[in-house]
Each structure stands twice: as structure tokens, then as C-alpha cells.
Structure 1
Amino acid sequence: MSNMQNLTELSITNNTSNKSLSVIIKVCVVIPFFCVFLFCIAIMLHIFASHRHYLDTSRYILFAYMLVNDALQLLSSVLLFLFVMGQVRLAIVYCIPLLFISTATFQNTPLILATMALERYIAIFYPLRPPPAWRSDRIWIIIVSLWSISCLFPIIDFSIGERDPSIDVLSTPVLCKTIVVNPSPLQTLFKAAVSVLFFAVVAVVILFTYVRILLETRKLRQDRLSVGKAMHTVLLHAFQLLLCMLAFTHPITETLIVLHTKWQPEDIAFFNYFCFILIPRFLSPLIYGF
């Protein structure tokens, strides 16, 4: 009986030790990666602020806005990741701001990509007299509109559905996860519908601008080189959109991993987070920026 108890205690100790080591490895992978990302973003923002030409160009103002948006998205995402890894529990009132920023900035990215593609369209078809809102001194109107739309859906998202009555918003500590804050199936359905809508609209906008610029190239009414560059830029936005859409592949990858490996659920969740959320968000602005 004593030997059996010792073996059980040893097994529990080993499992706890393995889980702790796994958490340390995951944190040590994510943190340096995130620091490199922030360093690159800081360099690009410094270059943007140091050159008057960039400050007077709508295209680069929108790009700087995208850099800030992606930095906020990854910052909130990494903080939520660290809280979950460390099993840090907070009252819902403190979790919601982080979840709100993470959701709003995630929804904002495709809108920014669509806006940047439209900016190239405007620059090609209205080079001398662009619409007032697209001028560099008024582009902030479009930026505020994008941010307002992105914030509207998280507000609706967190408002619908029923919460657990046993959880007090101000005092009950919980893990900072959307499914914990609002486990309603209606919320999951709403979020999926909004995400599909956002990305579908952006895909249509990018396709429209690319086709129109392609037709303009064939007409040769303008400098072929500048129109060709605009086409390449729009294609790059399409690639950035594909990178963002990788975040929606986790049900497929999770199923494949479960079928072919014996990974623990937390390891599968980390693999999906690192490969399909963190890395695409890291690559998207860097590819376009450099």
C-alpha cells in the first residue's frame, strides 16, 4: 500500500514538473519573438516619423496606423497568453478591456487592408484631385471611422448572451478567455458571422481594385511603371489578408493534429496560437514594410 502511494505521488510530481517545463518553454519561445516584433515596429514607426514625405502621404499614414493596430493586437494577445499560461485569474471587469482590444484590433486589420487597397485605386484613377477624405490632412476621418466600426462589434459581442449568475463581474476571479467571460453559443455564432463578413467584404474590395488597376494598365493612360507598382501593392494586400485568415484554420489543424498525434490539448492550442496567429501577425506588416 505504501509503495503504491509513493508511485502515485511520484507520478503526480512528474506530471506537474513536465507541465511547468512545458509552460516555461512556451513562454521562452513567445516572449523573444514578440520583443523582436516590437523592435521592428519601433524602427519602422521611427522612420515614418523622421521623414516629412511619409507624413504627407496617405498611403504611409495608413501603414503606420496598421503598425500601431498590429502592435496593440499582439500586445493584448501575448498578455492574455501569459495570463493563461500562468493561470492568472482576474475579475471580469479587468479582463474585458484586454479582450476588447484584442477583438477590436483583430477585426480592424482586414478593414485597414481594404482601405489601403482603395487608396491605391484612388491614387491611380484620381491622381490630381483625390476625394477630400483621402487627402493626407484628412485621412484621420477614415481612420476614426475604421476604429469605430471595429469597436462596435466587440461591444455587441460582449453584450449578447447570458453570463453565469454565480460569477460576480467585480470580484470573482476567472481566466481571461472569451469563452469564460461569455460562454453563450450565440456569441460564438455572432463572432464567426462577423469575421466571415469582414473578410469576405475585404476580399471583394481587393479583387475589385486589382481588376480595375489591371484594366487601367492595359489602357496605358498613365505611366505603366506606377500602375504596375499599384497592382503589386494590391496583390501584397491580398497576401496579407491570407495571412490574417490563417487564424480561422485552427479547427482544421486541431482535427488533423488530434488524428495524427497524441499531443495534450494545451500543446495543440499553443501550436495553433503560435503558427496561425502570432507568426502571420508578425510577418504581415514586416513584409509590407520592408
Structure 2
Amino acid sequence: MAANNSVTGDDLWYIHVRFTILQVLLVFFISTNLLLIITFFKKEYFYTTARYILFAITLLSDSFLLFLSNIQLILLHFRFPIQVWLCIIISVVVILYLTVTPVTLTVMTLERYVAICMPLRHGELCSTRSTMHCILIIHGLSSVPCILILSTIFVSASLSFYKQYQICLVEFIFVDAWQHNFRAGIYQVQFLIMCIIVIFCYVKIMKVAKAASGEDKKSTKKGLRTVLLHCFQLLLCLIQMWCPLIESSLLQINVSLYVIVRYINFILFYLAPRCLSPLIYGLRDEVFFHAMKHYASFGFSVLVFELCVHSSQTSSSRNLEID
């Protein structure tokens, strides 16, 4: 992170080490996401299936978020100021895609609920057309916090403020303390709504899992494990929504402590949730895993992939395949 004039040589060394570690991690995760995105667009089976379409949305939003967050990180590390209006644009996009991922994960949990608890209506409710409409709704809902947060800046800042040069951090854009509290309040409302939806889906799927038998029980339990992973991933994303409140409070107390906590939060609540998406669908999902291996190995595993797709389509026709 950024250094100030009073840091010692050892402190400066640790700052550069932390920055280098973050760059390596970011390059790794963004590269992995790009491989998964390429895999998604290569096969019609993926971009015509609801759960894979939603998975691709999380990959794209995570990639945008990591890329733009890294731009802010680089500017902060080298203490390179930019005009406030440009910083606001970058920050608004970051806030948007910060919200898109947890909203999409909530929708993916609902999709699993429909697949397990209402299998006969799954094809109707989770068609490709319905999923495309759902993507618009996801971005519409995710833009509400952006609009509300952006409006607090417009009502409290003068026109000259947007022409000033400063380090690009959302905390520095907010003029008054109430704006930090307002942003935290919005995130807490989101946290509550998403938790209610996820808990509802989990309880309903649990009831179906207890009532199922034989092959149905095995498939339902697999779906239940997937929902649990979604819950854990969503929990990390939702905890991330509390981070701005903690960080803005620390910024007023101790800048050095703020930098350390922000670094830890970035690792735990920015990067960690975004490495779970490749785990859930890139490794656990047999069809996607073999497709990814097929393209990563330049086509040597094509036969295994085609067999997996055929098996998945056959199982889906019997309403037994739960991701």
C-alpha cells in the first residue's frame, strides 16, 4: 500500500512485499477467470444453461472488480493523484460490481431451490430467455446502492471539488461522516435481505433432501452441498459489505492501522470469495471441469468432455442432475 514520508526502510520493504504479493494473486485469479470465461463461451451447452450463465456473470463481475480495484491499488501504492470526477467513475463501477456478485449468488441459490424443490417448473422458470431477463434485474438491483451513494456525493460537494486531484479512495471522496454511515446502512439492508433469501432456500432444500430417497437423495444432497458453498461464498461477500464501515472508522483513528486492516480485508473478503467460484464450478462441476481441461490441454481430453456433457444432459432430462 502507499507509503508516506515518515516510514522507515523496513516499513517500506514490507509495503512493497505486500504490494507484490497482491499483484501475483490478482494476476493468478484474473487469469483463472479468463480461462473459465473462454471455456464458457466455447460450448453452446454452457451459454444455454441457466446455472452456467449466472456463473459466467459472477466471473465477469469478479474480473471487472479485481481489475478496477487493482488500478486503485496501484494508484494508491505509488501515491498518484487523479481528478475526483475520474475517481468517482472508477469507484461507482467498483461499487456496482461489488454488489453484482452477491446478488448473482443469491439468484444462483434461488435457481438451485427451483431445480430441487420445483423440478417440473425448472425448465420454464430458468430458461435462457428468463435468465437473460434475470441478468438485467440483477444489474438493476445492484445499481440502486450506486445511485444512492452517488447522490450523497452530488448533494454535498461543490463543482470545484470534482476538479481537485487526490488519491483515489472512496473514503476520501466522501465529504461528511454521515455519508460513510449511509453507505454502511445500505449494505446492512442488503445483508439482511440476502440472508433471509439464502436461509429460506437452504431450509426448503434441506426438507427435500430428508424426504428424498435413492438416487434422488444423492443428487439432492449434492445440490445441498453446492448451496452451502454458495452460502459460505455469499457470507464472505456480505462481510465485505461491512468492511467500509470498519475501514472508514479506522481511517479517522490511525492511518497505519487502516492500511493493515484494508490489506487483510482485501485478501479475505475481496480475493477469497472470488477464488471459490472457480472451485464450485471449475473443479466440482464435472462437465465444466473436463471442458476447462479440454481447452487448457489444447483438445486432448475432448472425448471425456463429450461423454460428461451427454451424461449431464441425460440426467437433466430425468430432473435428477443437481449441480
Give the TM-score range, shorter chain: 0.7 to 0.9
Structure 2 partner of 1:63: 55
Q: 1:224 to 1:166 in 2, by over 3 A?
A: closer
- Name the CA distance, whole Å, in 2 between partners of 1:14 and 1:100: 32
Choose which of 221, 229, 233 in structure 1 pairs with 2:226.
Answer: 233
Match of 1:216 in 2: 208
Give how far 1:287 is off: 2.4
User: How far apart are the structure 2 equivalents of 1:176 and 1:124?
Assistant: 45
More off after superposition, 20-29 vs 57-66 = 20-29
For 1:253 and 1:275, locate their aligned partners in 2 and report how far apart those are by CA, in whole Å. 14
Equivalence for 1:87: 79
Give how far 1:58 is off.
0.3
Which one of 180, 204, 229 corresponds to residue 188 of structure 1? 180
Tell me how far 1:14 sits from its aligned partner: 8.3
Q: Hey, what does 2:114 align to over in structure 1?
A: 122
Instruction: Work out the CA distance in 2 between the residues paired with 1:114 and 1:102.
Output: 19
- The residue correspondences of 1:142-181 to structure 2 (distance < 5 A) are 142-160=134-152, 163-165=156-158, 167-169=160-162, 171-181=163-173
Query: After the TM superposition, which of the residue ranges 18-27 and 184-193 deviates more from structure 2?
Result: 18-27
Q: Contact conserved, 1:243 with 1:284, CA < 8 A, in 2?
A: no
CA RMSD between the two structures: 2.9
The AA in structure 2 aligned to 1:57 is: T
Name the aligned partner's letter for residue 209 of structure 1: C
TM-score by length of 1: 0.83
Aligned to 2:271: 279
The count of residues paired between Structure 1 and Structure 2 equals 273
C-alpha distance in 2, partners of 1:27/1:79? 12
Q: Matches of 2:68 and 2:174 in 1, distance apart? A: 18
Contact conserved, 2:117 with 2:204, CA < 8 A, in 1? no
Does the 8 Å CA contact 1:246/1:276 hold for their aligned counterparts?
Answer: no
Identity %: 22
- Kept in 1: contact 2:208–2:220 (CA 8 A): yes
In the alignment, is the contact (CA less than 8 A) between 2:111 and 2:126 conserved in 1?
Answer: yes
Q: Summarize deviations over 1:178-207 as a string: whole Å, max 9, x none.
A: 122222222212211111111221111111
Choose 1 or 2 for highest CA Rg. Answer: 1
Q: State the AA in 1 paired with 2:69.
A: S
d(CA) in 2 for partners of 1:129 and 1:223? 17
- Indicate how the Cα distance of structure 1 residues 217 and 97 shifts in structure 2: closer, same or farther if over 3 A, else same: same
**Residue 245 of structure 1: aligned partner:** 238
Unpaired runs of at least 5, structure 1:
1-11, 257-261
Q: How does 1:28-67 map to 2 (within 5 A)?
A: 28-67=20-59
CA contact (8 A) 1:113 1:202 kept: no
SS of the residue aligned with 1:56?
coil
- 1:212-254 superposed Cα distances (whole Å, 9 cap, x missing partner): 1111123328822222122111111111012223423687799
2:149 & 2:256 partners in 1: Cα distance? 30
Equivalent residues of 1:67, 1:285 under 8 A apart: yes
**8 Å contact kept, 2:180–2:248:** no
Distance 2:273 2:71 in 1: 15
Runs of 4+ in 1 over 6 A off after TM superposition: 250-256
TM-score normalised over the length of structure 2: 0.75
Shift of 1:19: 5.6
Q: 1:159 to 1:17 in 2, by over 3 A?
A: same
